[in-house]
Amino acid sequence: MTYALGAKSKERLEGVHPDLVNVVEMAILLTKQDFMVLEGVRTPERQAELYAQGRTKPGQKVTWTLKSNHFKNPHTGYGHAVDLVPFPVDWSHKKLDVVSKAMFAAADTLGVEIRWGADWDRDGLPREKGESDSPHFELVL
């Protein structure tokens, strides 16, 4: 089965660096697990909202920083990160890992270097050091 990005996912890729957009667009064609783009470019205000979650607002902590590669980079004018979630929405590691395999296969094919939030140190061992941002993918700059 071949999947395609929906209109909302395409909209959420606006302002994301073209190299990363190309990776996402190829990954959706390669994946065995449908996914959607949850977030692309973020404003500092949105990042502050997410940072407050689990601290001063109810909910689980979802970020540990007020800085983000989701922000538009002043040098390139693009955001350099996306958050992807299996569709229908499912936060299980099993499905997120399938999405990551497609993202890395696409990145390798296109010659684009990416980092995954479940493997920040890029040693191929996801979540071994508490790396927990499994929906997050970003360009390595």
**Beta strands per DSSP E along the chain:** 35-39, 81-86, 114-116, 136-139
Give the whole-angstrom CA distance, residue 103 versus residue 30.
Answer: 8
Long-range pairs, 121-125, Cβ under 8 A, ≥24: none
**Exposed, middle or buried, 65 (CB in 10 Å: 0-12/13-18/19+)?**
exposed
Is 67 a member of any domain? Answer: no
Establish if 134 belongs to a structural domain.
yes
Instruction: Give every residue of the chain whose pLDDT is below 70, as ranges.
Output: none
Whether 61 is in a domain gets the answer: no
Residue 48 lies in a domain: no
Whole-number pLDDT of residue 1 = 85
CA dihedral 141, 99, 59, 46 (to 10 degrees): 40
When divided into structural domains, the chain yields a total of: 1
Residue 138 β-bridge partners: 81, 115
Environment class of residue 87 by beta-carbon count within 10 Å: exposed (0-12), middle (13-18) or buried (19+)?
Answer: middle
Residue 76 makes CB contacts below 8 A (sequence gap 6+) with: 17
Per the domain annotation, does 20 fall within a domain? yes
Any domain includes 83: yes
What is the DSSP secondary structure assignment for residue 35, as one 8-state letter?
A: E
Does residue 129 belong to any structural domain of this protein?
yes
Residue 57 covered by a domain: no
| Helix 18-30 with 93-110: angle, nearest 10 deg | 120
Q: What is the pTM of this model?
A: 0.92
Q: In CATH, what number is assigned to the domain containing residue 28?
A: 3.30.1380.10
Write down the pLDDT at residue 59: 84
| pLDDT score for 3 | 97
What token pair was written down for 83? 């958050």
Full residue range of the structural domain in which residue 99 is found? 7-39+75-139
